[in-house]
Structure 1
Amino acid sequence: MFGSKVAFLFMWKGEKVSMELRNLFLRRILAAARRLKAEEDEIGRKRCLSQALEERVHRLRVEAQMWRDVALSLESVAGALRCDLDRGLAAAAVGDTESACCRSDSAAEANGRMRKRACRSCREAEPSVVLLPCRHLCVCAACAPATVACPVCSCSKRASVLVNTPH
């Protein structure tokens, strides 16, 4: 009898230990399942964020390409305008130097003589100084230091260049 009570006690203790082990095992499984669920939720949030960032990168690439195209277009327009300006300045410089440098004597022209170049300030010496930025060759070396503005176009003189002219 004593043996059967001991066996019963061991059996009862074994079942109690077994149930406690099962409960512990179930608690650990539930905790692991909660952690897994939380990690899956975090992965889902990060996946959404990643998709939003990829869409933003795509939009920014499209916008960058658009701005690149605009810049190229404006660059070509600026090049064309620069070319037109250079041609216009070259044409104006050729025409202005002729008209600015030459004094016509109507009586002399009537007789068929050549036009004589004359300084626009003193009207005596031959022009030998180009005024900048307008590029008019219209004053002599003696009058250039006193010249503040171009006598042809009234542009403020910023600098001047002495030109070697054949005599």
Structure 2
Amino acid sequence: MRPGARSVAGMNETTTQYSPSNAGENARADASGSRRRRYGRVAILVAAVAGPLVVWAIAVPIARIDLTAGTGPAAPTVTPSSIVVAGLVMGFGAWGVIAVLERFSTRSGRIFAIVGWTVLVLSLLGPVVTGATGVVLAVLLAMHLATGATLIIGLPLAARGAATVYGARLER
């Protein structure tokens, strides 16, 4: 139970009642939860960028794969800076989507998962459409999966924090 909350007789133990006398404590607890959620989501964004960077570090400097997205002389080479920029753009976009869903929907996690996995599947078509083949295609797909799965699974979990894990309520 949160600090400053008291159980109401006759109700289950997870139901709490807040009184004006402990409003300050409740506001601090809510601010602390918001801060914890924000830090958790920042950590997920860092992980979503770090995952494909690890894949790149194994593929390019170690395995000596020429990682270009497409064919021909105009095909862009995948660099760490392009990975960071793309990961942050997708990460902040996903964060915005889940923030809006949490504000306006009671099923934000489910809707976010449907939208996220759909966008991930569509993004996997990118390397295929650009003409990447073989090992390069496998590396590009692995990078997409690393970023997408981290965001889709991690962002909703960061919102739950220590309060719930897979629907089970835990005491803070």
| TM-score normalized by the length of structure 1 | 0.30
Q: Answer 1 or 2: higher relative contact order, Cα 8 Å, separation at least 6.
A: 2
Q: Compare CA radii of gyration and give the structure with the larger one.
A: 1
Q: Give TM-score, length-normalised by structure 2.
A: 0.29
